[in-house]
Homo-oligomer: A and B are copies of this chain.
Amino acid sequence: MERIEKIVLVGAGNVATQLAQGFHEHGRKVVQVYSRTDSSARSLAETLQCDYTTDLSCIYPGANLYLFSVADQALADLVKQFPLTNVAVAHTSGSLPLSLLTKPGLRAGVFYPLQTFSKKRKPDFSAIPFFLESNDPDLLASLHELAGTLSNDVRHIDSAQREIIHIAAVFACNFTNHLFSIADELLESNHISFDILHPLIRETIEKALASKPATVQTGPAVRNDRQIIEKHINALSTLPGYQIIYNFISQSITEKNKIKS
């Protein structure tokens, strides 16, 4: 197994930034950052004190891993234009299949950390699950060793399972955040601070994570309290998008509970 000591990061977004800093702190060297955007590439390279480029043809050839951490839409084109062969590549996407990297001369893998990253918030990598995939057993072992420097939770899964995990994460996190932003908007337009919901949100999370979420469901829909549901739906009449969400989630809660009972 080859230890991944030198990494070229293709991408300079939130995921790339936090991974790069994590590698750095654990003694692995990011030797170069590529980004289409000069300012992004330069900014990350300055933090890491490494080289950067906005030109794919200038990518440094001697790295142990070329880690693609870019928007899903951008990956296929980048891979097509990627000039090197006989190197190991991996992407960090929850949704894209391993096969997107399959190209003659490339050893391909997936290196997917299940977390929401921001440029400014330093994550605690040790608890973040890393999901790895590769058809090349040597590369898989190398990726495992690299992920293991950051995290205590490294797993091997295939592309189909990774897609399910990504969908589950969209529901549990991206959509949850949107529900918070709907709540915030409703309160704000009535001059009430979103802060009043903080204790309730924290308790909701603690309850859901301490048991099975379906077993601690509360609210009008699980009681199928039609009177309150109709009242709320009427109160949302000027916000049809939110009315539809209210309606379908309530239906789904009621149905799930019917099946259970």
Chain B hits for A163, CB < 8 A: 231-232, 235
Instruction: Tell yes or no: A220 within 8 A of B by CB.
Output: yes
Are B245 and A249 interface neighbours, CB within 8 A? yes
Least distance between A155 CB and chain B CB atoms (Å): 8
Which one of B164, B173, B212 contacts A200 once the chains associate, using CB atoms below 8 Å? B173
B253 and A178 contacting across the interface, CB-CB below 8 Å: yes
In the assembled complex, the CB of A236 is this many whole angstroms from the nearest CB of chain B, namely 7
| A62 interface residue per 8 A CB criterion | no
Most chain B beta carbons < 10 A, residue from A161, A166, A205: A205
Contact flag A164-B95 (CB < 8 Å), given A114-B197, A172-B180, A218-B116 = no
A208–B195 CA distance with the chains assembled, in angstroms = 11
Could you tell me if A164 and B184 are in contact, using CB atoms closer than 8 angstroms?
Answer: no
B171 contacts A182, C-beta separation under 8 Å: yes
CB-CB under 8 A for A204 and B176, given A181-B256, A187-B164: yes
* Residues B172 and A220 in contact, CB atoms below 8 Å apart: no
Residues of chain B within 8 A (CB-CB) of A217 are 174, 177-178, 181
- What is the interface residue range for chain A against chain B? 35 or more
- Interface stretch, picked from A46-54, A80-88, A120-128, A137-145, is A120-128
CB distance from A36 to the nearest CB of B (A): 16
| Distance in Å: Cβ of A96 to nearest Cβ of chain B | 8
19 contacts between A and B (CB under 8 A): A115-B200, A153-B196, A161-B190, A164-B192, A165-B192, A168-B192, A169-B183, A169-B197, A170-B221, A174-B218, A174-B221, A175-B249, A175-B253, A181-B212, A181-B217, A184-B213, A201-B205, A202-B205, A245-B249
A interface residues with partner B (beta carbon < 8 Å): 71-73, 95, 114-116, 118, 121, 123-124, 127-129, 153, 157, 161, 163-187, 190, 192, 194, 196-205, 207-209, 212-214, 216-223, 225, 227-228, 231-232, 235-236, 241-242, 244-246, 248-249, 251-253, 255-256
Taking A163-B231, A176-B201 as known contacts, 15 extra A-B pairs with beta carbons closer than 8 A to each other, sorted by chain A number, are A95-B231, A118-B216, A123-B203, A129-B196, A166-B232, A169-B183, A170-B246, A172-B197, A173-B200, A173-B201, A176-B180, A177-B207, A178-B249, A194-B213, A242-B252
